[in-house]
Amino acid sequence: MRHIAWQAAISVGLVNLLTAALVENATDEDRSIAAVIAPSEPENLCIRDTQRSVRAAPSLLMTSQRLQRTAPPNSSDHPLGIRLLANASDDKLPSQTSSDDLAQTLQDALQWEMQQIEKSLGKDGATQLGAQPGRVMGVALNGKDDIRMLQSALMIGVAGVLTLAKVFSLLRRLRPVVYIKEADLEIEAVTDTDASPCTAPRHYANPHVGLFDWVLKVWQTTPEDEVKLAGLDGWAFLEFRRLNWRIFSVIGPVLCAVLLPLHYEAHQDSEYELDLLSKFDIGRDPLPDWMLWVHAVMVWFVVCVSTWTITRTQEHFTERRYQWLKEIPFPRAKTVLIRNIPSRYRSDAALKQYFVNFFSEEVIERAYVVRHTGRLTYQVAALKQARLDLLHAKQHWQEAGRPDRASSESLRLEHCEKREQTLTQEVAQAQARLDEGVAR
């Protein structure tokens, strides 16, 4: 349906172009009108002023009114469009050949465009434009399968939510270490047969929790608990969800109670067979003016409710954020991150002295420039692994009864000690190079 709108726009442009070509703009307006209706004026008047008229491009309504006011009495027997288009070749002078050719060309183009529009709209398409706005606007209206698709979407959504809630409840009961974050939760050890709880293997922990008791805990959680457990960002996300819930819980029932009965009543006398969704839709039949005013009032109702709710939530969030900033622990509360440091200040001493010059010695406690460690990270990780291997080797050597140096345990212990010493020296040298580079 998109090409219909383009064809209509082209048709209107052609009509305006034809009218502008036959009517002179600005100061020669009356003389050009007389040349069209009473061709006794000097020849080539319209042709001479065509470019100015096309540039002006007056609207079809204004031009029609102007021509009707200046038309002679004997020319009122036919409509304006028919008189200009259909009778363009009647009573023409030899000097008007160019003007008549232009009018005939535009008339043919206009007729072709109108035929294309009628062909696209189908039989009696022009009379059904108001009744079926979706055909012109390119909007898909409700069809026969829309109700079934809506029911399927609702069923899939509800089933998905229930499934996730059930899975979360089961995982919360079977894996409490992951899904339960409560420090004072009583844990019960599940043991085998009659073995002692201290010596029996513990398969899993069985906390005293219900399957769906988390629902009640969610509703009883305070904002302070949310900020403490999830941080300010987590609380802001939950508050955003609650904001949407508050807005839709207010505007949803009001819009359904006002607009849906209004649409249903307006479509009672529709000449089309409407399905259930179309009876509550706005896009099928033209609505009375007073119903459209109701829609305008509902738009402002939504705007006012949304603005008021968002403003209150913003004020609450601002208060909570200031309180969170005050409770940030030291040294995080007094630490500033700086980027794009000039090369002459890329050392701890130089950077600290730079800020001391701005403030004072008592205000600046420490300045630390982040180092580009390079391979130092991997060396530190290797050193930690070497120390762990050395600890295991020493444990095996002790369990073997501290054998002499020729045994495999002693050789492994000696190898781990040498590797640990080598990596310790490499890490120390790398750290010294970094400190030396920063101190320059």
Note whether 7 and 117 are within 8 A (CB): yes
Residues sharing a CB contact under 8 Å with residue 294, sequence separation 6 or more, in sequence order:
258, 259, 262
Question: What stretches of 197-288 show up as alpha helix (H) in DSSP?
Answer: 213-220, 223-266, 276-279
Rounded to the nearest integer, the mean pLDDT of the chain is 71
For 112, the 3-state DSSP assignment is: helix
pTM: 0.47
pLDDT at 419: 92
Confidence of residue 173 (pLDDT cuts 50, 70, 90): confident
Question: Which of 30-39, 97-106, 235-244 is predicted least confidently?
Answer: 30-39
Give the highest mean pLDDT range of 7-21, 70-84, 299-313, 364-378.
299-313
Give yes or no for residue 24 having a pLDDT over 60. no
pLDDT band with cut points at 50, 70 and 90 for residue 81:
very low
The pLDDT, as a whole number, for residue 396 is 87
Enumerate the β-bridge partners of residue 205. Answer: 189
Q: Which residues pair with 189 in a beta bridge?
A: 205
Locate the domains of the chain by residue range.
Answer: 2-137, 141-220, 222-327, 376-439
**Would residue 302 be called left, alpha or beta, if left means φ above 0 and alpha means ψ between -120 and 50 degrees?**
alpha
Location of structure tokens 């060309």:
105
| 180-224 pLDDT per residue, tens | 655 444 444 444 444 444 443 444 444 556 667 777 777 888 888
What is residue 190's three-state secondary structure?
A: coil
